[in-house]
A and B are shown apart, each in its own frame.
Chain A
Amino acid sequence: MSQATATVPHPVQVSIPLREIVPWAIFVGILSLIVLFFVSTEAGAVELFAGNGLVHEFVHDGRHLLAFPCH
Chain B
Amino acid sequence: MMRNLLVRGMLAGLIAGVLATLFAYFFGEPSVNVAIGLEESGGHSHATAEGGHGHGGGEDEELVSRGVQSTVGLLTGIGAYGIAIGGLFAVAFAFLHGRVGTLRPRLTSALLAAGAFAVVVLVPFLKYPANPPAVGSAGTIGDRTALYFGFAALSLVAGIAAVVGGRGLADRFGAWWGGLLGMGGYIVVMAVCAALLPVVDEVPAEFPGSTLWTFRTAALGTQLVLWSALGLTFGAFAERVLRERAKAPAPAGQR
B189 at the interface (CB under 8 A from A): no
- A32 and B246 contact, Cβ closer than 8 Å, known pairs A13-B102, A16-B94, A16-B98: no
User: Does A66 lie within 8 Å of B128, measured CB to CB?
Assistant: no
Per-residue contact bits, chain B 71-97, to A (CB 8 Å; 1 contact, 0 not): 001111110110111011011001101
B1 at the interface (CB under 8 A from A): yes
Per-residue contact bits, chain B 46-70, to A (CB 8 Å; 1 contact, 0 not): 1100101111000000011000111
A58 at the interface (CB under 8 A from B): yes
Closest to B252 in A: A14
Per-residue contact bits, chain A 6-41, to B (CB 8 Å; 1 contact, 0 not): 000011111111101100110011011101101111
User: Does B69 lie within 8 Å of A44, measured CB to CB?
Assistant: no
B145 at the interface (CB under 8 A from A): yes
B146 at the interface (CB under 8 A from A): yes
**Dominant SS among interface residues on chain A:** helix
User: Does B88 lie within 8 Å of A54, measured CB to CB?
Assistant: no
Instruction: Give CA–CA (A67, B125) in the complex, Å.
Output: 7
User: Does B145 lie within 8 Å of A35, measured CB to CB?
Assistant: no
Instruction: Give CA–CA (A69, B245) in the complex, Å.
Output: 42
Contact of B148 among A20, A38, A68 (CB under 8 A): A68
Contact count band on B: 35 or more
Instruction: Give CA–CA (A26, B95) in the complex, Å.
Output: 13
Residues facing B in A34-66 (CB within 8 A) are 35-36, 38-41, 44-46, 52-54, 56-66
User: Does A58 lie within 8 Å of B69, measured CB to CB?
Assistant: yes
Chain A residues, Cβ within 8 Å of B138: 71
Closest to B239 in A: A12
Contact of A10 among B53, B125, B218, B243 (CB under 8 A): B243
Chain B residues, Cβ within 8 Å of A66: 77-78, 81, 130, 219, 222-223
Instruction: Give CA–CA (A39, B2) in the complex, Å.
Output: 26
**Which residue, of B121, B133, B138, B255, has the highest number of chain A Cβ atoms within 10 A?**
B133
User: Nearest chain B CB to A49's CB is how many angstroms away?
Assistant: 13
Instruction: Give CA–CA (A66, B24) in the complex, Å.
Output: 9
- Which residues of B are interface residues toward A (Cβ below 8 A)? 1-3, 5-6, 21, 24, 28-29, 32, 46-47, 50, 52-55, 63-64, 68-70, 73-78, 80-81, 83-85, 87-88, 90-91, 94-95, 97-99, 102-105, 121, 124-125, 128-133, 136, 138, 141-142, 144-146, 148-149, 215, 218-220, 222-223, 239, 242-243, 245-247, 252-253, 255
| Inter-chain pairs besides A21-B95, A28-B6, A53-B53, 10 sampled, C-beta below 8 Å | A13-B102, A14-B252, A25-B95, A28-B88, A57-B64, A59-B76, A59-B80, A65-B24, A67-B219, A70-B136
